[in-house]
Structure 1
């Protein structure tokens, strides 16, 4: 059971059913939306950055395997434009296997302090090798080495074994100034079918406005909370 520190030094038990927050910070209406989903997302992301939120570009990526078993994990958004949302990973990872199998994903930006979240769902595609290489060049060297060293999502015998992988990679590239992109590593782009903007409101009557892709354009729907 969770405990709440009331300042007296003694923790008071908190029942999960009793934990709630009243959302009253902002409102969201159709007239306030940007013309496009990506402009609206960029505007909210800018607010999250300016507010000093930790990892404002962090998003929960949800996938499913060929049998329908779902998985979720946090990744970092590293690209945003009219084409979609981009993140980078190991192409042999569990998430990449899921994406290759189903070709669909959902990502959610959970900005709790702002009482906001954005959920984007859609088809996925690998980004071009050129786009991956451009992003790769800006990564810290340690992150580049880690991408070569980690057999992501596979079982490893110990932390020592993983550290040994890294040490071997460090020796391999010790005299290499520009580490190449691993052939098993690159970007995925989520191409939205829907992009929903959620603003917390009082009494759980939250504002939910959703951009929905149509044959030739986008429409905006208000969704009941």
Structure 2
């Protein structure tokens, strides 16, 4: 298949189907966190698939960008929360550069929310609560492996590492690896993006200004 045929096939795809929600930017609240929870609640109520799936982009100590998808764990007045191993690549990136960009995308509604903010570690208690709510197998894999590192040479070695971690968890159901960490993203910028058939898209940006926010509309 040639590059040109791929181009034609991709351009022929329907971008958004069905009824799209309206977005009255004039009526948007002064606080972007309020709009975030409104949109998230609407996505949940509408049955959007995995509305908590969130892309996070970080930068390594060497300046290499990296992005991956994880789960949004909470939204509080302070910001957005996620959890991971501090020894993972993203944990190491955040240690070197404690800033991240987030993206929530809801295809069914033609909506996305972009967030940029400073990242800080949450309390050990929050990390403990998060880890203990994970599925037992997910806890064993997190406790027994080295996230994003090459797998052992054989399946038997992998199974042995996971089994050892599972036995440790069975022996101590409250065990939480020291590396498991809850992270808070304190936003300094939001962008709310809504597909709109009559004008392609609407983009509303909020930027932190002291204790408040500055709002402006962006070109599509």
* TM-score where L is the length of structure 1: 0.86
Paired residues, number:
214
Preserved contact between residue 192 and residue 203 of structure 2 (Cα < 8 Å): yes
1:49-107 CA distance string (max 9 Å, x none): 12222211001111111222111110000011121111110110111111111111011
Q: What is the Cα deviation at residue 32 of structure 1?
A: 2.8
Partner residue in 1 for 2:11: 17
The reply to whether residue 29 of structure 1 matches residue 1 of structure 2 is no
1:159 Cα deviation from its structure 2 partner: 6.4
**RMSD (Å) for aligned C-alpha atoms:** 2.2
Of 153, 161, 165, the residue aligned with 2:161 is: 165
CA contact (8 A) 2:137 2:166 kept: no
- Say yes or no: does 1:191 pair with 2:191: no
Q: Does 1:207 align with 2:202?
A: yes
Q: Normalized against structure 2, the TM-score is what?
A: 0.88
Partner of residue 57 from structure 1, selected from 44, 52, 56? 52
- In structure 2, distance between residues paired with 1:186 and 1:25: 37
Q: Which residue of 1 aligns with 2:150?
A: 155
**Pair 115,159 (structure 1): closer, same or farther in 2 beyond 3 Å:** farther
Aligned residues of 2:86 and 2:92 also touching (Cα < 8 A): yes
Asked if residue 89 in structure 1 is aligned to residue 100 in structure 2, the reply is no
Instruction: Tell which deviates more after alignment, 15-24 or 136-145.
Output: 15-24
1:129–1:22 distance in 2 versus 1, CA, 3 Å: closer
User: Which residues of structure 1 form unaligned runs of 5+?
Assistant: 2-12
